[in-house]
């Protein structure tokens, strides 16, 4: 089992966005001296900038977590204050874990996939409006073909028969609904989506899965060099296609009415757009984010207090107000944190 190091700042940031405590969960920050001047000792450059106030600076703390993951793909808050961690083991197979807000215990979820020895699985998940977890599982079974140890330093990529491996591959896709405790509530094979398979029998190529409404999700599908967006119900049944003229950006979340909010490119800057949870149509209340950076992974979260949403870019975590203006909440760079991996 591999020991994976997580950053406590991640827990702090999600607590900030979801639990209405945007500054109290991180270590460090600014303090006032006897003269009322603000200062911070958490930035390595603080001592060199005596005439400049340093704000929004925090310190991360390592967590030594004994979890069977080589890589963490995503972290999502679920019901009861718990957190869903999605990642991969050393063979590339996906793993889902549930942990508490302190990252003290980790419970692996049994998806009951019954995978053969020579198979791989890839999972993408989202938290629905009702708190349940929806997951798309893509399975590739290579039958009797023996997969190599990709981590073996002596493995010869030039001599390996990739054509034979691809010919042996059989593909399937499952849709699961799990409770916040990890219990499987529904499972299906997404037969309704066979119409979106490739022209020559290629497997269904799914992309991001996002929550919309209480119990439905929006799934992106790659088909004939274009993106198609479909609504699925909690049984994995096809509901309808959704017309999104601007390609969906990485960040998505739900607003207070369970409408799907997503980031998109406008003519000059990023914009927040919505898809209605009632009729799955694009809504008219687009919000222009004129002073927001566009680099980084672009994580979007529901806000609190003065902020409608929180946005994480490569440089900082921002609070977005109702008029589209924003404030810097945490500066990743001054806090010695790589914001591209938040």
Across 284-297, average pLDDT: 78
What is the torsion angle, in degrees rounded to the nearest 10, for the CA atoms of residue 101, residue 306, residue 330 and residue 72? Answer: 40
Alpha-carbon span 197 to 221, nearest angstrom: 9
Across 190-209, average pLDDT: 80
Alpha-carbon span 33 to 50, nearest angstrom: 13
Does the structure show a pLDDT above 50 at 76? yes
pLDDT tens profile 317-331: 999 999 989 999 999
88 close to 95: Cβ distance less than 8 angstroms: yes
What confidence tier does 289 reach under pLDDT thresholds 50, 70, 90?
confident
- pLDDT of the residue at 342: 80
Across 169-196, average pLDDT: 89
- pLDDT of the residue at 263: 87
pLDDT tens profile 245-288: 666 667 889 999 999 999 888 777 788 999 999 999 989 888 88
Q: Cα separations (Å) of 61 from 82, 303, 337?
A: 19, 24, 11
Question: pLDDT: is 56 or 280 the higher one?
Answer: 280
Of 13-22, 124-133, 268-277, 298-307, which gets the smallest average pLDDT? Answer: 13-22
- pLDDT of the residue at 248: 66
Tokens of 113: 């996939």
């Amino acid at each position: 089992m591999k020991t994976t190091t997580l950053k406590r700042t991640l827990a702090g940031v999600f607590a900030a966005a979801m639990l209405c405590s945007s500054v109290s969960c991180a270590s460090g920050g600014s303090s006032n001296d006897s003269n009322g001047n603000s200062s911070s000792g958490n930035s390595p450059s603080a001592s060199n900038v005596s005439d400049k106030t340093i704000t929004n600076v925090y310190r991360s703390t390592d967590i030594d977590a004994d979890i069977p993951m080589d890589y963490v793909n995503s972290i999502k808050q679920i019901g009861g204050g718990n957190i869903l961690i999605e990642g991969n083991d050393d063979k590339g197979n996906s793993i889902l874990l549930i942990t508490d807000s302190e990252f003290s215990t980790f419970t692996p979820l049994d998806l009951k996939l019954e995978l053969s020895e020579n198979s791989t699985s890839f999972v993408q998940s989202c938290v629905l409006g009702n708190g349940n977890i929806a997951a798309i599982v893509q399975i590739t079974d290579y039958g009797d073909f023996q997969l190599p140890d990709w981590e073996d330093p002596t493995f010869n990529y030039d001599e390996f028969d990739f054509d034979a491996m691809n010919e042996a591959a059989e593909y399937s896709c499952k849709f699961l609904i799990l409770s916040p405790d990890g219990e499987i509530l529904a499972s299906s094979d997404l037969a309704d989506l066979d119409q979106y398979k490739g022209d020559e029998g290629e497997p269904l190529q799914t992309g991001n899965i996002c929550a919309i409404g209480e119990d439905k999700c929006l799934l992106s599908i790659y088909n004939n060099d274009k993106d198609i967006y479909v609504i699925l119900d909690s049984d994995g049944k096809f509901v309808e296609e959704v017309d999104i003229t601007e390609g969906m950006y990485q960040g998505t979340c739900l607003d207070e009415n369970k409408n799907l909010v997503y980031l998109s490119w406008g003519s000059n800057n990023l914009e927040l757009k919505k898809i209605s949870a009632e009729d799955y149509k694009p809504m008219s209340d687009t919000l222009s984010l004129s002073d927001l950076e566009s680099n980084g992974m672009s994580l979007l979260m529901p806000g609190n207090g003065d902020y409608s949403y929180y946005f994480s870019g490569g440089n900082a975590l921002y609070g977005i107000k109702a008029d589209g203006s924003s404030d810097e909440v945490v500066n990743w760079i001054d806090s010695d944190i790589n914001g591209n991996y938040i």
